[in-house]
Amino acid sequence: MLDTYGRKHIQPVVDKTADFLLKEGFTANGVTKIAFAIGLSSGVFIYLDQPFWAIVVLWFSGYLDVVDGTMARKTKPSSWGTLLDISFDRMVEISVILGLAFRFPDAMWALLLLSTSIIIGMTVFLTVGALSDKKGVKSFYYQAGLAERTEGFLLFTLMIVFSTYLTVITLIFIAIQLFTIYQRMAEAKRILY
């Protein structure tokens, strides 16, 4: 939801960053790979009990993830870049979940359920994007929903900072994911049926 409705407020800063990186010779796919490497380290920092750094690298990688898409649209977007972007996003999320699971094994069952809800949610999201004739700014139809990447990062941040309440926050995250799945399935029925 925040990605869809809040993007216009941060886009001027994203544009400036994208222009700067393009001027310095970076490519969109190169920034995607940098964001991926930085984001993966979040799970390592969680496991090493370095919550501050885990959050810093998570959000920095998320920012670069927004910038790389803008860079692609300013140059030449590619299907390969879209695949890298979506795949690397999920791997960063997996890194955070694994870092939390290994650091806090008592919450592993809830984190496993969260992983399952993310898999189902992304399956619906990507399938609707592939099947829909609608197109947006991105290279596929982007379904808005309650849980988008920013909400996920906010919830991951809460999980990292308030690890004492990790299971409760994870269950809230799952509930938000399930609601988003319902939203996207309802919209999919309207546009695909």
> Can you tell me the distance from the alpha carbon of 185 to that of 116, in angstroms, rounded to the nearest whole number?
17
> Can you tell me the distance from the alpha carbon of 153 to that of 38, in angstroms, rounded to the nearest whole number?
14
Residue 9 has what pLDDT?
84
The answer, yes or no, to whether residue 4 has pLDDT greater than 80, is: no
Distances 2 to 6, 34, 73, 111 between C-alpha atoms, Å: 5, 24, 21, 23
In this prediction the pTM is: 0.90
Sole residue written with tokens 């309802």: 186
CATH class of residue range 2-192: mainly alpha
Query: 88-98 pLDDT, tens per residue?
Result: 999 999 999 99
One-letter amino acid identity for 136?
A: G
For the chain, what are the domain ranges? 2-192
> Can you tell me the distance from the alpha carbon of 152 to that of 165, in angstroms, rounded to the nearest whole number?
16
Query: 23-82 pLDDT, tens per residue?
Result: 999 999 999 999 999 999 999 999 999 999 999 999 999 999 999 999 999 998 888 998
Element containing residue 11 per DSSP (H, E): helix 2-23
> Can you tell me the distance from the alpha carbon of 100 to that of 16, in angstroms, rounded to the nearest whole number?
34
Element containing residue 35 per DSSP (H, E): helix 28-47
